[in-house]
Amino acid sequence: MAMNIVVVANFDSMSAEAAKIVYGQIMRKPNSVLGLATGSTPLGVYKLLVEYHNRGMDFSRVTTFNLDEYVGLGPDHPQSYRRYMHEHLFSKVNINPERTFIPNGLAEDLEAECRRYDELIRQAGGIDLQILGIGTNGHIGFNEPGTEFGSTTHVVDLAESTIRDNARFFESIDQVPTRAISMGIKSIMQAKEIILMASGGSKADAIYAAVHGPVTTAVPASVLQLHPSVTLVVDQAAASKL
Ligand code: F6R
């Protein structure tokens, strides 16, 4: 198996390992195209990237594509991923806002928005380094179990378990959007290099299935076994079943 597995003690060391990889990527290629995730997992990475920036790291030539956005939430909605990225990274580093891409969850024609997003990624020359978290059900991006490996950016009906997992960010579970736009499995697999991060015991089953299970659409992250350059950065709790 081509996966490079790094097991570290806890969330902070997971964040430090992943941030180091992102740092190296941008040092080697200042105009890198990064694929970014939201949620709890990458928060420590973004914090460290802001610290690196405060010590001189330059983001001015970096381009970013986020994995996903909720349908119906605009950039000002507190739980939109555009807002999340603004708060945790974009407003705190010298990235050019015109080079930060996130699917538009308010697009009238969602199908056209998906095609536009894939085209933007293509025009940028593809993603150099993709950061991924993993859902407790094994999803990557919002590619829920059953998503075809050939999928490009598409509109997703979120799984019940994902709605439950993400309800913690909303006032109540009925406020969690039921749909999202997500980069597809194929879009993710086209990234030149991938980091999959996971922290905590709630991710242990998904990590086990992704790494040692059969490659199956039932566990979207298992497709990563077929990618030539994946680094798994997991803390001990998430790695406890490996
Ligand atoms: C977020 C995303 C999701 C999350 C996953 C884990 O952009 O694409 O796949 O990475 O749901 O979420 P957390 O990190 O909140 O446990």
Give the list of residues 6+ apart from residue 180 with CB closer than 8 angstroms, or none: 68, 69, 70, 71, 105, 142, 155, 156, 158
Number of H helices, E strands in the chain: 7, 10
pLDDT of residue 1: 52
pLDDT tens track for 133-172: 999 999 999 999 999 999 999 999 999 999 999 999 999 9
State in Å: Cα 116 to ligand 1 middle: 23
Q: What is the CATH number of domain 4-229?
A: 3.40.50.1360
pTM above 0.85, yes or no: yes
Q: Is the CB of 38 under 6 A from ligand 1?
A: yes
Whose C-alpha lies nearest to ligand 1, atom 11?
A: 135
pLDDT tens track for 191-212: 999 999 999 999 999 999 999 9
pLDDT tens track for 112-134: 999 999 999 999 999 999 999 99
